[in-house]
Amino acid sequence: MAKSLIIAQIFLFSCGFFLHAVNAQKTNNPNIIYILADDLGFGEIGAYGQQKIKTPNLDRLAADGMRFTRHYSSAPVCAPSRFMLLTGNHAGHAYIRGNYELGGFEDRNEGGQMPIYEGVPTIAEVLKERGYKTAMIGKWGLGMPHNTGSPLLHGFDQYYGYLDQKQAHNLYPTHLWNNDRRDTLRNHSIMVHTNLDSIKNRPYEYYIGQEFAPQKLTEKALDFLEENKNNPFFLYFPTPLPHLSLQVPEEWVSMYKGKFEETPYDGGKGYAPCKYPLSTYAGMISYLDHQIGQILDKIDELGLSKNTIIMFSSDNGTTFLPFVRPDFFGSTAGLRGYKMELYEGGIRVPFIAKWPGKIVPGSVSDHLSAQYDIYNTIADITGETKENDGISMLPVFISDQKNHPNHEYLYFEYPENGGQIAVISGEWKGIKKNLIQNPDAPWELYLLTADPQESSNLADQLPQMLQKMDEIVKKSHRCAHIKEWEILDKKDRK
């Protein structure tokens, strides 16, 4: 009897010790901050070679962490890129594959984009299940409160910011959204897609309000960090900067006035007119950098730096609109193409990760990766990975060469702007364009290691490589759920 009692006590003690260890592990899970810029080009911050625009905080983040040189957004535009980031799907399997706009630009017609469906697994849900407090603060672009797209239905305990991407064209909006309710701001109603001639009195001043949305977003983010300093948290911070319109407080424009030769922009190509377009664009990126600096400083102030992972990237490449002169700023770092294209300039994006004690400061990686890897990277850091298209980058972060993962290929599919697909396999990249008009469009083939500018098409010389690309497309593509997004299956396009 006594022996049985002793065995039972040992068993109970062992169970208690095991549960304590599990709870301790959960308690010690690192805080995670993922910052997503909007339309920031590969070459628009100092750590990636930018010379004209100052980004000291992002440069500091790179100096303290790892800078990736072959990281890709999942898509070349906003909504699908964000969906794939949160779900770990590439574009051949994703539910959201384009910017399917609903409603209009006016407040009364705010309709958002095609919403993500109820029950879709997101990384926020995984982290919530693992004891994290979760917040989305910034630009969402995946639905509204009146449909299945509210962030509250997809793993976020709270959110604040823009829901409709069209509203985010204006950085002085009349309102933002706070947990499914409108938060009214002290700004007059601004129609940013109007030219200068339509505004009679003080025309440039019409496009500036009293409350700058990015500042409101940063304030909410800092509040969230303060409120959750004693428990593990996940902050998803998709800032709307530097997506146009050209709007930023005057002090940030003044930083660059007189440094560039520039002429006023009259609004003729869309988005708000601006008296100093180059200075304003540079100021918007510097303000973005300021936002990152405030978050970094807050983490230091709270004493959380050693147990916080901070990741930074962009949802796609830089804008193609000429009035911000991406050629002048070297926005693509010499890469071909812009936003809405599957050339490198449209999808290769900066990616920086900082994790004190795990990631070697000042390190650089040419590991081939995509944003749809972030889901399994975070899942792996906090527990187990999930079955999707991404792989964990954790071994890359901690320089674990033995378990270093490698993609056989990256797959891209974009049904808008004529219809495009792309495959990156090792050092090779294939791309097809204009598939809607020409389903039999030919492959272009580039050797990225020797030709990152994609200037020398080798398709005619390597038919065996094109056959490999065809095989990858065949096994990667799943029919889209709406006709407008089906660009490969001829039957579904009729």
Give tens-digit pLDDT for 122-173: 999 999 999 999 999 999 999 999 999 999 999 999 999 999 999 999 999 9
- DSSP annotation of 274: B
pLDDT in tens, 12-69: 444 444 333 333 333 479 999 999 999 999 999 999 999 999 999 999 999 999 999 9
pLDDT in tens, 391-421: 999 999 999 888 888 999 999 999 999 999 9
Token pair in block for residue 331: 């926005």
Quick one: pLDDT at residue 404?
84
Quick one: pLDDT at residue 422?
98
pLDDT in tens, 257-272: 999 999 999 999 999 9
What residue ranges define each of the domains in the chain, with the CATH number in brackets? 30-403 (3.40.720.10), 410-493 (3.30.1120.10)
The Cβ of residue 307 has, within 10 Å, a number of other Cβ atoms equal to 15
Q: Is the confidence at residue 93, as pLDDT, over 70? A: yes
Query: pLDDT band at 490, cuts 50/70/90?
Result: low
Quick one: pLDDT at residue 151?
98
User: Counting Cβ atoms within 10 Å, is residue 358 exposed (0-12), middle (13-18) or buried (19+)?
Assistant: middle
Q: Is the confidence at residue 437, as pLDDT, over 90? A: yes
- Per-residue pLDDT, averaged over 353-371, amounts to 98
Quick one: pLDDT at residue 6?
46
Distance CA 223, CA 236 (A): 14
pLDDT in tens, 304-331: 999 999 999 999 999 999 999 999 999 9
What percentage of the chain exceeds 90 in pLDDT? 90
Task: Report the phi/psi class of residue 191: left, alpha or beta, with left for phi > 0 and alpha for psi in -120 to 50.
Answer: beta
Quick one: pLDDT at residue 16?
44
CB environment 225-246: b (16+ within 10 A), e (fewer): beebeeebbbbbbbbbbbbbbb
Distance CA 484, CA 23 (A): 48
- Per-residue pLDDT, averaged over 371-390, amounts to 96
Query: pLDDT band at 489, cuts 50/70/90?
Result: confident
User: Counting Cβ atoms within 10 Å, is residue 25 exposed (0-12), middle (13-18) or buried (19+)?
Assistant: exposed
Q: Is the confidence at residue 290, as pLDDT, over 60? A: yes
| pLDDT, mean over the chain | 93
Tokens 């993922």 found at? 34
Closest CA to 338 of 39, 20, 125, 89: 39
Quick one: pLDDT at residue 493?
45
Distance CA 81, CA 91 (A): 9
pLDDT in tens, 188-246: 999 999 988 888 778 899 999 999 999 999 999 999 999 999 999 999 999 999 999 99
| Half-sphere exposure of residue 64: CA atoms within 13 angstroms, side-chain side | 18
Tokens 């800078």 found at? 67
- Per-residue pLDDT, averaged over 435-456, amounts to 97
- Per-residue pLDDT, averaged over 275-296, amounts to 98
